[in-house]
């Protein structure tokens, strides 16, 4: 998107340093394959007619949707923030003398159109293919893991009920209400290649078959995935390196030499491989601030997750030196 230099841009160019937000947006703008994403949306987007109000450009709407996802803002909140933030205005490529920020209703309708047609998942898959073609994806091993995304448990709404698709689960002596989000991560590079969303009361190991690739020969996971081979029914032979529940084991064996040897020689190498998945969750939860569900229903939140994890893959790729 071509940007014309105006007096505001000239003034801001004289600053001593850039903000972290501006540096982040410059990185994401450079590495995001905008043309490919626009082509994915085009078949489902209304054509521009000669009369009436013209639809906003697809790339403009995609940029606004990404800003909303990255900074965890509401529809009204992202509209106001773009008007207020020079860095976001530059990322959007807007010149207020010719074009204004799309309003919250337009963004809501755009996001709904994407969700109904599964475009978020296609964007995630396109990023995976894009990185695979550039040699950034390794094959042969996968790390599986899941995290809990909490949902509002209040019944102070029109129907006086909680989200029926969300459920409660007990973890580490604490109760959570919401959904689980499972991901499959490339064991060599740490990039996410599969995503699945399900209710929180469903065991992680039961959804593990949706996170594997056909060419995976080795699978890593924490103790929640013990017995995983019983739930994977694709008849592909794999080696399962699942971490032992050392908490229970150490209760009886911690002082013994056998425990120390097993922890150092067997369990430690597993944990060192498996820890790559934690960095992905760090990006999504701490940088993109997604710790609670934004919408009702598992489908909408899983679609939202596809955008976040596609962005996380791009962010990690940029930090690793890009696609050069």
Residue 261 is predicted with a pLDDT of: 74
Taking only the tens place, the pLDDT of each residue in 170-191 is: 988 899 999 999 999 999 999 9
pTM, two decimals, is: 0.88
In this structure, the number of other CB atoms found within 10 A of the CB of residue 79 comes to: 21
Strand partners for 185: 143, 192
Taking only the tens place, the pLDDT of each residue in 182-241 is: 999 999 999 999 999 999 999 999 999 999 999 999 999 998 999 999 999 888 999 999
Give CA separation, 131 vs 75, 257, 278, in Å. Answer: 30, 45, 20
For the chain, which residues make up each domain, given as ranges? Answer: 7-46+54-116, 140-294
CA distance 11 to 4: 14
Burial class (CB in 10 A: 0-12, 13-18, 19+), 280: buried
Given pLDDT bands bounded at 50, 70 and 90, which one contains residue 1?
Answer: very low
């Amino acid at each position: 998107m071509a940007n014309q230099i105006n007096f505001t841009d000239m003034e801001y160019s004289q600053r001593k340093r850039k903000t972290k937000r501006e540096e982040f947006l410059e990185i994401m703008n450079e590495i995001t394959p905008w043309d490919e994403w626009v082509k994915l949306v085009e078949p489902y987007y209304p054509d521009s007619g000669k009369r009436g109000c013209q639809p906003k450009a697809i790339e403009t709407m995609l940029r606004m949707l990404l800003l909303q996802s990255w900074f965890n803002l509401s529809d009204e909140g992202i509209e106001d923030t773009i008007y207020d933030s020079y860095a976001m205005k530059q990322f959007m490529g807007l010149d207020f003398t010719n074009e204004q920020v799309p309003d919250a209703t337009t963004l809501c309708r755009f996001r709904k159109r994407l969700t109904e047609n599964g475009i978020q998942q296609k964007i995630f898959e396109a990023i995976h293919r894009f990185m695979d073609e550039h040699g950034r994806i390794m094959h042969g091993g996968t790390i599986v893991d899941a995290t809990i995304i909490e949902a509002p448990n209040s019944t102070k709404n029109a129907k006086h009920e909680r989200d029926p698709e969300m459920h409660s689960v007990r973890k580490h002596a604490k109760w959570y209400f919401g959904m689980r989000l499972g991901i499959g991560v490339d064991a060599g590079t740490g990039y996410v290649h599969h995503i699945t969303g399900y209710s929180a009361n469903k065991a992680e190991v039961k959804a593990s078959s949706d996170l594997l690739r056909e060419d995976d020969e080795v699978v890593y996971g924490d103790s929640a995935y013990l017995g995983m081979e019983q739930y994977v029914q694709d008849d592909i032979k794999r080696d399962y390196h699942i971490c032992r529940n050392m908490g229970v084991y150490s209760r009886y064996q911690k002082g013994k030499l056998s425990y120390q040897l097993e922890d150092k020689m067997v369990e430690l190498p597993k944990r060192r491989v498996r820890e790559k998945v934690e960095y992905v969750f760090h990006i999504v939860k701490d940088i993109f601030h997604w710790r609670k569900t934004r919408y009702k229903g598992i489908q909408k939140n899983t679609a939202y997750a596809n955008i976040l994890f596609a962005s996380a893959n791009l962010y990690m790729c940029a930090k690793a030196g890009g696609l050069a």
